[in-house]
Amino acid sequence: MPVEEARAFVRLLAPWAIAPLDAATTERAWAVQDSAGLSWWDSLMLAAALRAECRLFLSEDMQDGAAVEGMRIANPFKPEFSRVLGRM
């Protein structure tokens, strides 16, 4: 994909990018990393989602069904994923 096309696509997604990336998110990511034992980048994504008050975090790499500070992690590629959405 050409760079300008990729940038245009990201700009289309920008209105939905409500998760902050600031010092407070970094601090929260450290807390998530320490409590959940996750990698830095996973912890940073989870911290941003938590600060955006998400209740569900989709990941095919993290443990399906785990919860971090009350936010559920779900694998969207598992067949039972539709039931997870039904309970939200």
Does residue 8 form part of some domain? no
Q: Can you tell me the distance from the alpha carbon of 1 to that of 7, in angstroms, rounded to the nearest whole number?
A: 10
| pLDDT beyond 90 at 28 | yes
Does residue 5 form part of some domain? no
Phi, psi of 42 (to 5 degrees): -60, -45
Q: List pLDDT tens digits, range 29-87.
A: 999 999 999 999 999 999 999 999 999 999 999 999 999 999 999 999 998 887 777 77
Q: List pLDDT tens digits, range 10-23.
A: 899 888 887 888 99
Does residue 2 form part of some domain? no
**Tell me, what's the pLDDT at 37?**
96
Residue 37, Cβ neighbours under 10 Å: how many?
8
Does residue 12 form part of some domain? no
Does residue 7 form part of some domain? no
CA gyration radius for the chain?
Answer: 15
Does residue 6 form part of some domain? no
Give the predicted TM-score (pTM) of the model: 0.77
**Tell me, what's the pLDDT at 84?**
72
Work out how many domains the chain is built from and give that number: 1
**What is the span of the domain harbouring residue 27?**
20-86
Does residue 34 form part of some domain? yes
